[in-house]
Structure 1
């Protein structure tokens, strides 16, 4: 039963845009009103999430038989994101569509480097398993030797 219930849950990124200056209107707001105006806009949008966004988002997801999880509405996440200045969450001096929610890909890269085990490329990709099992790392690849000999005869 748990696997059925667990497979019905959806992790969403809903409301990340409001907190991380992710909408194109945030870029325009920054250009016309500066950081102070943008901060007020984000604060106003955060105040409206529960009444404006959350209800219809949850109904839309549950209409498909899924149960939503909203990590960007976790109290600790909201507190942390609110503690950061907006320029650490987004680079709105970049062209619109590029600098919004900049903290997310940076965090993903950091998490991946911390959580994933380190492997040499040939071991991590398991390419060695696709070759002959009796080959050793110090063996010369016969296919490459043939190509090299063919190239030498063509060049001479």
Structure 2
């Protein structure tokens, strides 16, 4: 288990997201062979086993790095909410395996990233102007892109 975060004290883990959001390859196989009803039974069985799973190993691995673990997908409200959703809102298993699992989580991550990350115009975000000339400002006209007349060109060659 790799624990990232040099300066963080708490680590959020995704433990139990796969069980609730049809994230394992066996979920895709269950869906293909047994349909939606078979997949629902498999997820229900896995949810029933949550309390008997040993999270101690994960917790010890994280705390060994001086971090404190949080398990948001084991929160009763999160489990209850995700359990209330039909499986087709959590995953799209009609798409190829490896694509549609945990779809609702992936869509939420994209939405959060677009809300939380600052918006930059491409020229500012890429820092391209600073690579070309440090003293240029965004409002400056770029001399390298201005049209050069033939007269000016002949004068500069003299």
Give the corresponding residue for 1:88.
89
In the alignment, is the contact (CA less than 8 A) between 2:8 and 2:67 conserved in 1?
Answer: no
Deviation at 1:29, TM superposition (A): 0.9
CA distance in 2, matches of 1:29, 1:155: 75
In the alignment, is the contact (CA less than 8 A) between 2:22 and 2:91 conserved in 1?
Answer: yes
CA distance in 2, matches of 1:122, 1:48: 52
Q: Could you tell me which runs of 5 or more consecutive residues in structure 2 were left unpaired when the two chains were aligned.
A: none
Deviation at 1:66, TM superposition (A): 3.0
CA distance in 2, matches of 1:141, 1:97: 46
- Sort the Cα spacing of 1:34 and 1:127 in 2 relative to 1 into closer, same or farther, 3 A: same
- Sort the Cα spacing of 1:128 and 1:4 in 2 relative to 1 into closer, same or farther, 3 A: closer
Q: Could you tell me which runs of 5 or more consecutive residues in structure 1 were left unpaired when the two chains were aligned.
A: none
Cα displacement string for residues 51-103 of structure 1 (whole angstroms, at most 9, x for unaligned residues): 12423322333344432111111222222211211111111111222211111
Higher mean displacement: 121-130 or 87-96: 121-130
Superposition CA RMSD, Å? 4.8
Runs of 4+ in 1 over 6 A off after TM superposition: 1-5, 146-156
- Sort the Cα spacing of 1:32 and 1:155 in 2 relative to 1 into closer, same or farther, 3 A: farther
Equivalent runs, 1:1-156 vs 2, <5 Å:
6-7=8-9, 10-130=11-131, 132=133, 134-144=135-145
CA distance in 1, matches of 2:22, 2:4: 37
Aligned length: 154
Higher mean displacement: 56-65 or 144-153: 144-153
Secondary structure at the aligned position of 2:66 is classed as coil
CA distance in 2, matches of 1:32, 1:4: 45
Give me the TM-score of the superposition, normalised by structure 2.
0.74
Give me the TM-score of the superposition, normalised by structure 1.
0.75
